[in-house]
């Protein structure tokens, strides 16, 4: 969908925030799950900001696990960046960026602003670590689609793969997602990043899929540069057929149809 986003946007007095990204808006980029995705980064511009340190993260190691929410980028900055972008051809607006998007306290305001000016659905890709917070669930509820990470079926493997802040407890996070599922009116997807460490736990992950009742299941593997070797297409297909054939709306990363997408960022 091609839309013009050069219309006048609200102007607010901007607070001084360090390390803002050059642009909070980037892309569009190709997403195997969403097609042409216009990205929004409401975190630091040059530093990974996350409360997980996943072994497969393409952004590298988290040098400082952050658990407290704060404002990193002002809404005024986002407004200016959208104005500067002009016309864009995209299918979704996706909040992801340089880490965990729910760490931004103004995430809800950012979603509202984007939806007010862009005729595009909004997705959020989250590790789910803060889903126990009511204010985070309220922010996520504003999105048309929430894509949540689920890589492990127990606390031990969760710590081994996702290496979270010690304040993030697996069982509490799962219960938070169950609460969110009962409240949320949009589309919930569970994204399973499969590798050698958890491939033999696929049957246990399926039990959590049944418990959380997502609208979509995404079987992924680390195809982007990382220290973890991806599973083969045959291995992913075997997991799909063995454990997830009875689940509705399952997609796999190897089955996605690539498309050519032209980024509008001047530095890309």
Question: What are the mean pLDDT values of the chain's consecutive 10-residue runs (268 residues total)?
Answer: 42 45 90 95 89 94 88 95 85 95 98 93 97 98 98 98 97 98 97 98 97 97 93 98 94 78 48
Spatial separation of the C-alpha atoms in residues 135 and 151, rounded to whole Å: 24
The pTM of this model reads 0.89
Cα maximum dimension of the chain: 55
- Rg of the chain taking only CA atoms, in angstroms: 18
Joined tokens for residue 129: 């670590």
**Partners of 38 in beta bridges:** 93
CA nearest to 258, candidates 91, 32, 38: 32
Q: CA–CA separation, 39 vs 123, rounded Å?
A: 10
Superfamily of domain 19-255: Aldolase class I (3.20.20.70)
For residue 149, the SS3 value is: strand
C-alpha neighbours within 13 Å on the C-beta side of residue 113: 24
- Please say whether the beta carbons of 225 and 258 come within 8 A: no
Q: What are phi and psi of 150, to 5 degrees?
A: -145, 100
Confidence (pLDDT) at 7:
39
At residue 258, the pLDDT reads 62
d(CA 41, CA 20): 10
Residue 40 · residue 92 · CB < 8 Å: no
């Amino acid at each position: 969908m091609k839309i013009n986003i050069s219309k006048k946007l609200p102007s607010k007095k901007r607070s001084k925030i360090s390390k803002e990204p050059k642009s909070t808006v980037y892309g569009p980029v190709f997403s195997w799950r969403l097609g042409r995705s216009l990205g929004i980064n409401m975190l630091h511009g040059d530093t990974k900001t996350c409360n997980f340190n996943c072994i497969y993260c393409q952004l590298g190691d988290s040098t400082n696990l952050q658990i407290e929410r704060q404002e990193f980028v002002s809404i005024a900055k986002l407004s200016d960046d959208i104005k500067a972008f002009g016309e864009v051809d995209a299918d979704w607006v996706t909040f992801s960026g340089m880490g965990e998007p729910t760490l931004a306290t103004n995430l809800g305001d950012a979603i509202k602003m984007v939806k007010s000016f862009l005729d595009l659905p909004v997705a959020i890709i989250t590790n789910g670590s803060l889903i126990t917070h009511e204010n985070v669930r309220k922010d996520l509820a504003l999105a048309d689609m929430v894509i949540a990470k689920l890589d492990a079926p127990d606390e031990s493997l969760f710590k081994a793969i996702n290496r979270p802040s010690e304040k993030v407890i697996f069982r509490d996070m799962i219960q938070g997602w169950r609460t969110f599922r009962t409240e949320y009116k949009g589309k919930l997807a569970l994204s399973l990043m499969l590798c050698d460490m958890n491939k033999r736990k696929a049957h246990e992950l399926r039990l959590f899929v049944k418990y959380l009742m997502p609208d979509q299941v995404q079987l992924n593997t680390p195809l982007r540069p990382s220290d973890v070797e991806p599973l083969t297409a045959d291995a992913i297909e075997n997991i799909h057929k063995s454990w997830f054939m009875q689940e509705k709306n399952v997609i796999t990363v190897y089955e996605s149809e690539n498309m050519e997408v032209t980024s509008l960022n001047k530095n890309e």
